[in-house]
């Protein structure tokens, strides 16, 4: 990528953050709208899970393909295509006549979304090359997640209560169009000097692992763990994973370069991302249904109740970015793991949702933990990797987040559906509340375990030994002499010369 002025780099960061905003905002406003969708579309808990997981599943399956494709054919080109598809998918979601159509249109959104975040992170990585400057930029990037979490419940609640749940998808339209025009005008094109070739077999195996596993988890409560359908899908997931592990190392240019995982910080970041976002997905899913269906709050009031969590995420994300830039990822990861674990314990062992002050304390702790965890995940994932593979490295981190959120919603939803034993469809508030509260206890213990995993893995993979493995892995991954150019600049369009 050609050298840009400070002003131009800040503008590129702002444009990339716009893409993250619409993707993150879409998830937070959707959670607030779930009870309204459930009533209008007559959806079960499994149906609600699919409105979230159909999106995250497709997103997780295609992120690495999008990252490598962007490195190959041009990051700006893929980024623009993603904005078009995401905006179109949002429009279609707002017009969906039934649950099946909504799930299908969410998948269209996800195809576009897969071209946004990893590609945007690759653009940021190649725009901000100094480690401290990059860490601060990633902190700003993480802060956008906090903004979406703060604004999402409020905006979603206002729209759902005043216009209806379909309007939550309208807010993506002006932001998506503005980001598209600004990308054309200000973001220079770039691509890797030696991008990897497509890997269709690896891509199909990834889809097989994630799709079959998610289906088995979501449908198990209704079909039964031992039913032939669930067993068949579980077998497909296991066989696809085995095939992936056997096939990918034999390729010269695999979809997933398993050598990345020889770096303890990179492997740790992957595990931490899965656990942290599984906790987030389960946390939002549980609280949205609890606040509206058990406490009887409106969508807006439910959004206001969750503001303490969102505010802490917003405040802590840029702070975490500065800590990572100045002191490394260890402190941020330890704070994140401890706070998320404590939050889970409050709900699992002390019934925090039954007492409003204690519930708010749990929200604050979870927001603190989640706000601290995002920057070290992203920074660790892309640090030490050759910039020619920045798109793929960032895509692995983004994929881990989506896998985590997919599994979190699937597992927590399955536990909830099995525990309530049909109480979701009940018109009586007492059995629903009783069933929900009882079913939520094991779900909260799962979230607690995720937080504990963040704490332990963060401590293990952020020390001197871990940094040594990262250094050795980076040497193995360095391109050969003569291929060391970080980016291959291409001819800029007429709108990309200003401020360069």
pLDDT bracket for residue 310 (50, 70, 90): confident
Average pLDDT over residues 254-279: 89
User: What percentage of the chain exceeds 70 in pLDDT?
Assistant: 87
Average pLDDT over residues 468-490: 60
Q: E strand or H helix at 488, and its extent?
A: strand 488-489
Residue 383 backbone zone (phi > 0: left; psi -120 to 50: alpha; other: beta): beta
Q: Where are the beta strands (DSSP E) in 150-241?
A: 190-191
Residue 216 scores a pLDDT above 70: yes
Task: Work out whether the CA dihedral 272, 273, 278, 280 comes out positive or negative.
Answer: positive
Residue 260 scores a pLDDT above 70: yes
Residue, of 265 and 426, whose pLDDT is higher: 265
Most confident of 74-88, 209-223, 307-321, 406-420: 74-88
The closest alpha carbon to 235, from 215, 255, 258, belongs to 215
Q: E strand or H helix at 190, and its extent?
A: strand 190-191
Cα dihedral 143, 145, 151, 155, rounded to 10, equals 160
Residue, of 272 and 31, whose pLDDT is higher: 272
Residue 428 scores a pLDDT above 70: no
Please, are residues 37 and 48 in contact by the beta-carbon 8 Å criterion?
yes
0.75 surpassed by pTM: yes
Please, are residues 25 and 168 in contact by the beta-carbon 8 Å criterion?
no
pLDDT bracket for residue 393 (50, 70, 90): low
Q: What pLDDT score does 96 carry?
A: 94
Which residue reads 């993250």 in tokens? Answer: 20
pLDDT bracket for residue 388 (50, 70, 90): low
Contacts with 75 (C-beta within 8 Å, 6 or more apart), sequence order: 119, 122, 123, 189, 190, 191, 391
Residue, of 477 and 262, whose pLDDT is higher: 262
Compute the distance between CA of residue 80 and CA of residue 387 in angstroms, rounded to an integer: 21
Beta bridge partner(s), residue 489 = 190
| Average pLDDT of the chain to the nearest whole number | 83
Q: What pLDDT score does 129 carry?
A: 75
Write out 256-269 in H/E/C secondary structure: CCHHHHHCHHHHHH
- Where do runs of H (alpha helix) occur along 328-428? 330-350, 356-382, 390-420
Average pLDDT over residues 220-236: 90
The closest alpha carbon to 47, from 164, 219, 282, belongs to 219
Residue 166 scores a pLDDT above 90: yes
Compute the distance between CA of residue 11 and CA of residue 230 in angstroms, rounded to an integer: 49
User: What percentage of the chain exceeds 90 in pLDDT?
Assistant: 37
Q: What pLDDT score does 276 carry?
A: 95
CB-neighbour burial class of residue 261 (10 A; exposed 0-12, middle 13-18, buried 19+): middle
Q: What pLDDT score does 420 carry?
A: 63
Residue 455 scores a pLDDT above 70: yes
Least-confidence region, from 225-229, 240-244, 390-394, 486-490: 486-490
């Amino acid at each position: 990528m050609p050298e840009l002025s400070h002003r131009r780099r800040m503008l590129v960061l702002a444009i990339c953050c716009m893409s993250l905003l619409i993707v993150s905002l879409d998830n937070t406003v959707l959670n607030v709208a779930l009870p309204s969708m459930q009533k209008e579309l007559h959806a079960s808990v499994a149906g609600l899970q699919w409105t979230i997981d159909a999106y995250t599943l497709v997103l997780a399956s295609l992120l690495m393909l999008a990252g490598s494709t962007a490195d190959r054919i041009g990051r700006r080109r893929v980024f623009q295509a993603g904005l078009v598809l995401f905006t179109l998918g949002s429009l279609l979601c707002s017009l969906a006549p039934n649950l099946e159509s909504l799930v299908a249109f969410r998948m269209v959104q996800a195809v576009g979304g897969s071209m946004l975040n990893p590609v945007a992170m690759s653009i940021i990585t190649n725009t901000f090359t100094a480690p401290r400057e990059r860490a601060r930029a990633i902190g700003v990037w993480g802060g956008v997640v906090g903004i979406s979490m703060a604004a999402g419940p409020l905006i979603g609640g206002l729209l759902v209560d005043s216009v209806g749940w379909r309007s939550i998808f309208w807010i993506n339209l002006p932001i998506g169009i503005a980001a598209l025009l600004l990308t054309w005008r200000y973001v220079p094109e770039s691509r890797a000097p030696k991008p990897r070739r497509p890997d269709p077999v690896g891509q199909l195996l990834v889809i097989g692992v994630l799709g079959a596993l998610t289906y088995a988890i979501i449908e198990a409560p209704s079909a039964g763990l031992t039913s032939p359908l669930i067993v068949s899908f579980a077998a497909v997931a296991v066989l696809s994973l085995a095939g992936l592990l056997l096939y990918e190392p034999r390729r010269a240019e695999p979809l997933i370069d398993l050598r990345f995982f020889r770096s303890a910080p990179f492997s740790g970041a992957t595990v931490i991302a899965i656990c942290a976002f599984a906790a987030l997905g389960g946390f939002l899913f549980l609280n949205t249904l609890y606040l509206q269906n058990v406490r009887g709050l409106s969508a807006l009031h439910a959004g206001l109740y969750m503001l303490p969590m969102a505010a802490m995420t917003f405040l802590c994300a840029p702070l975490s970015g500065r800590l990572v830039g100045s002191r490394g990822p260890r402190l941020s990861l330890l704070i994140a793991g401890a706070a998320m674990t404590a939050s889970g314990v409050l709900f699992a062992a002390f019934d925090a949702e039954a007492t409003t002050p204690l519930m708010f304390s749990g929200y604050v702790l979870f927001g603190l933990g989640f706000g601290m965890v995002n920057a070290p995940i992203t920074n660790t994932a892309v640090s030490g990797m050759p910039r020619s593979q920045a798109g793929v490295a960032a895509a692995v981190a983004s994929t881990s987040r989506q896998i985590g959120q997919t599994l979190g919603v699937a597992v927590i939803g399955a536990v909830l559906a099995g525990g309530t034993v049909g109480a979701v469809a009940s018109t009586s508030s007492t059995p629903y509340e009783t069933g929900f509260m009882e079913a939520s206890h094991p779900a909260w213990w799962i979230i607690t375990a995720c937080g504990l995993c963040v704490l332990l893995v963060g401590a293990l993979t952020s020390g001197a030994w871990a940094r040594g493995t990262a250094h050795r892995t980076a040497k193995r991954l360095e391109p050969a002499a003569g291929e060391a150019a970080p980016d291959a600049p291409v001819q800029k369009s007429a709108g990309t010369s200003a401020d360069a």
